[in-house]
């Protein structure tokens, strides 16, 4: 199959992100600690939204959704499998996805629950306080997912938060495998990994082709601090592994090859929302285009470095253009077969 024939479908929680600048008094009104994250009921969310008198930005959100939307912006053929409510936020979500070229036909609709929303309250000191109602997004866990849900798609990307319900995740991965899809999983967060630790090895070995973890998630999975040890352990289960080490870069492995990709240094960090999701988009894009593994990591760094310079999980038109320019440059650059890159370009690492 040619790279241009590949299509990616994401699975996860479609969330409408609402971003508003407020004063500290509003945080007291909202309840809870400043800088914290709380789940709230639909009525409380509606009360908060109606009480904000400053301009509010509405964006597409959700971990896997951020990754899929970024891929759509890079002109990859994409779809999303998630559940929204039969309401205005749900219609906004689907329409916005279609406007960037996504296939919205795989969304499921709840007639009883509202579309999930996450309200980000930004105070003058730039601290972010978040209130989230998961609404219809969790209803997907009760759906029976079948291979036909993935028909026509070659790659599946799951957010780690899916691991909260292991029966649901196994159902999704089993259906994806039966449909013949390549499956990639981001581990999501340390708490999810700790809770799913007992069942994760079997899930990774039987269903997952590529897994992404940050250093804390890898440590939670393996029970040790050595990132190379985590890379070794995960590589016994999945053919492609990425362990992200923050300022120390990223460790990548495919079969017997290991790479360290240096991080991109960004001077003007505005908001880290979506950094990991956009990294996954860049990496997957390179993987599907059959770039060498270290180049996939560099594309991940490019996307992650761009998104932290903007408010919310999106880029400016200029940011997307820089990404597309880099992709065009890579497409015009002769690529060496994996394992034959000049040593000046490829950096090998070892646990010694």
- Span 125-168, pLDDT tens digits: 878 888 999 999 999 998 899 999 999 999 999 999 889 899 99
Tokens matching residue 164: 């909260």
* Domain assignment present for 334: yes
Q: Which residues make beta-bridge pairs with 117?
A: 16, 133
Threshold 0.85, pTM exceeds: yes
- H or E segment and range at residue 213: strand 210-214
* Domain assignment present for 260: yes
Q: For position 330, what pLDDT does the model report?
A: 77
Q: For position 271, what pLDDT does the model report?
A: 67
* Domain assignment present for 156: no
- H or E segment and range at residue 196: helix 190-196
* Domain assignment present for 303: yes
133, 40 contact by CB (below 8 A): yes
Per residue in 167-188, pLDDT (tens digit) is 999 999 999 999 999 999 999 8
* Domain assignment present for 333: yes
186, 304 contact by CB (below 8 A): no
**What is the pLDDT confidence band of residue 269, given thresholds at 50, 70 and 90?**
confident
* Domain assignment present for 55: no
Q: For position 275, what pLDDT does the model report?
A: 84
Look at the alpha carbons of 236, 285, 195, 85 in this order and tell me if their dihedral is positive or negative.
negative
Give the least confident one: 30-39, 161-170, 278-287. Answer: 30-39
* Domain assignment present for 291: yes
The domain that contains 234 carries what CATH number? 3.40.1190.20
Total count of domains within the chain: 1
The parent domain of residue 219 ranges over 187-352
Burial class (CB in 10 A: 0-12, 13-18, 19+), 345: exposed
237, 260 contact by CB (below 8 A): no
Mean pLDDT of the chain: 87
* Domain assignment present for 337: yes
CA distance 304 to 216: 18
């Amino acid at each position: 199959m040619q790279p241009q024939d590949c299509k990616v479908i994401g699975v996860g929680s479609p969330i409408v992100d609402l971003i508003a600048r407020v004063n500290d008094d509003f945080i007291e009104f909202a309840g809870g600690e400043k800088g914290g994250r709380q789940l709230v009921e639909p009525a409380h969310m509606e009360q908060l939204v109606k009480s904000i008198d400053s301009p509010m930005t509405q964006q597409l959100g959700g971990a896997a959704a951020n990754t899929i939307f970024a891929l759509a912006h890079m002109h990859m053929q994409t779809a999303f499998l998630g559940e929204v409510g039969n309401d205005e936020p749900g219609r906004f979500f689907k329409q916005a996805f279609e406007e960037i070229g996504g296939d919205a036909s795989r969304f499921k609709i709840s007639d009883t629950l509202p579309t999930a929303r996450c309200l980000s309250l930004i105070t003058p000191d730039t601290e972010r306080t978040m209130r989230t109602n998961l609404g219809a997004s969790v209803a997907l866990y009760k759906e029976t997912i079948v291979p036909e849900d993935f028909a026509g798609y070659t790659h599946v990307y799951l957010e780690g938060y899916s691991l909260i319900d292991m029966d649901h995740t196994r159902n999704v991965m089993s259906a994806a495998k039966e449909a013949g899809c390549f499956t990639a999983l981001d581990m999501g967060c340390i708490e999810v990994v700790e809770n799913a630790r007992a069942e994760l090895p079997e899930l990774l070995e039987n269903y997952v082709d590529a897994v992404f973890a940050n250093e804390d998630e890898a440590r939670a999975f393996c029970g040790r601090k050595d990132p190379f040890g985590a890379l070794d352990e995960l590589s016994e289960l999945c053919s492609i592994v990425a362990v992200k080490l923050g300022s120390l870069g990223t460790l990548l492995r495919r079969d017997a090859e290991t790479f360290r990709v240096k991080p991109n240094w960004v001077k003007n960090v505005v908001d880290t929302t979506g950094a990991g999701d956009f990294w996954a988009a860049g990496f997957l894009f390179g993987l599907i285009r059959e770039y060498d593994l270290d180049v996939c990591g560099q594309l991940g760094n490019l996307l992650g470095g761009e998104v932290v310079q903007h408010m919310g999980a999106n880029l400016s038109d200029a940011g997307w253009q820089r990404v597309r320019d880099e992709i065009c440059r890579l497409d015009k650059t002769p690529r060496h077969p994996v394992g034959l890159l000049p040593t000046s370009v490829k950096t090998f690492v070892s646990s010694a």
